[in-house]
Structure 1
């Protein structure tokens, strides 16, 4: 007896058929999604490869254009260098090869010297000079990095930095930590060389560039010493006290930094001379003593002894027609004041002193101005 449409067997068969249809639909959906992902991946790879090839083509075009400009300017050596760069990137480029062949027949110049940074080949040097397929192109990041290391080792700071700039422009993701460290070391080396050449402001700027890349306690301390030294030089002859303060801070940190010790001897002596001209002999004693301790000239000791004597017994000027060892005084009677005002010049201390002498009472003149001009 056949099953009725509402029998349990018919119901089970219908459910199984429905499940199979859903299973087939799910499998088809998964396959479609996988196919879409595969297509996207292939397109992405092709796009990246095309972008790299486009970048290389742009460089080749630029090299050829520059080479042609040099040919027009009758500079065959420079033209050869540019065209060789183009062929290094694209060995099969007919335009560059034809231009080189033409130069070989028309130019009588000697072969161009090998550039300090040789052309970077995009194919292994021992391979046949055939045009590489797009998926065989190797970016020259390793070569650039090696050349930057060699330039840094040779203290060719500008060349090393230029190579690192080229590397980062070509592939910013290439070993970023190693590239940053090499750039830091290059900048630090350049700063030290500038400092040794007495180019202090330039050195300070390079120190700051290096410390922007990473913190370094030793380099930061040296940078601060350079800054103090520049401050000291900016006050030289203008304010001896501030000059001594700046140089003293450097000396306390690193006594052998540049010529700080010699400058401290000169600055302390000059400060003491200034104090003596102002009549501050006791303060001048301390500065002369400091100058002697820093290795000042032998005559500073005699200045110190003289300052000690004047500190204990300050000199008192006397009025005479022709003061001994001094130019004749110029005198003027202050109108209605009952006082005599006169000036004397001391060749020994290279200073003018202005005195006031009361016409009545005490006969001791009073210093009212020194170092007058």
Structure 2
């Protein structure tokens, strides 16, 4: 076994005392004794002198190894401070794209080791990059060309370090074990590569779990990133990575944005109710949300939030608040349900419909003169749950289609909705004829489904990714395929005639807000409107786009004319109007309005 006071020359493999300034056989400088240069000129002179004694490939690998370690350190620090800085986000995305392109070129030229190195560097910047993980897995399963024979001293040194690393893992010293395993790879990349990779995976995973328990979540996230480099898409590590990433995203969340905070906390609670202080934060958020709603006299909604908090733990003071809110809810005129009285001009629903509820018109009937069927979500304060209602505009009759669901979108006999069932969150499709229910997606963050035509494909928005950025996805109602990401954006809609997605978004730099159109199969996004508040587009059969905006100071509904590409007001009053939905034939529009002091649905 090599004595630890000696050093193996990286040029000629001669073993010599570690305190000598250079190898006695070839004159190679001892890197452990090289002084750090004071400036760039001194560094260039030192590198010129040092690299003159080394083969070109060894120098490149040494420099690359140093660069890789540097990037890992810089990347882990940068990820903690740049959230929300669009310029840095664009720079990182550019670096990731360049690294992936270089890796593909290396792979195409059979330069497997260089391709793997590029991918490892990429995954330090974007650990969830699916294409990089897939390519890395493919490259590691390919047979590698026979490497030049490694000298016996280097073999012995690698074996010695590997045994030391195994001992450290048995002692639970994961950090030191990781350092030694990295040294094994540097000294002899061909030494038991499978075993070294497995050991690095295990050590990083265990280190991440320990740091997670100790509360060092940034350190834990970095350790899980390193483990995913060894085993991309590993389910155990991915689950922990998602949990920690979701929790850390709360640090940058708006404290008054209760809805998004609840989405994240409920997701975390479903994954692991005992993780960190998730249960306490979920309780406090429900309670604070209820308090905020109570100050706005939204007693029914406040009661619902209080009741949700009480399902987490008993609290006598909160029970008093919940009972008071329930009493005020029952006696509030705004919480009383009124009967729909359709006319030839309009249909109205009074009561507990809120601006965040969603209406959809059944596309198996044509809405004319108050006819057809209107689908919408309404909160049932008696049973403390959301229900999706089908309202017949011809005779005013109503029926509950399903419970614990919101945001309905109907296409023929298929209704897609957002499920509120904690054990089955995500988007579901419901057959209106048979009652069959299919879970299509499994993320609570998936919201606002919209149909475009008579196919089974629909579009939705989600913050399911670890960076919590809004992105647009498409998928099919049969639930047999994974959702496909289509780019960043919110409140999307599918155009039934353009085979395109209309959405609320910006340019790649985060500027120029408005409504954009992008081909469904990918391509260049085109800006359609210029209003910073333009959102919730609805596309008619003729291609006209209705949307809501505060262009005139309050929420009104405008229309973008497909023929003239101009914008004009469609429904503009002193009240607020929004959430437009076209009838199947494109001749009528359903929307919500607070005209008269309460939120109603009009056609």
TM-score by length of 2: 0.31
Which structure is higher in strand share?
2
Higher RCO, Cα 8 Å, sep 6+: 2
Structure possessing the higher radius of gyration over alpha carbons: 1
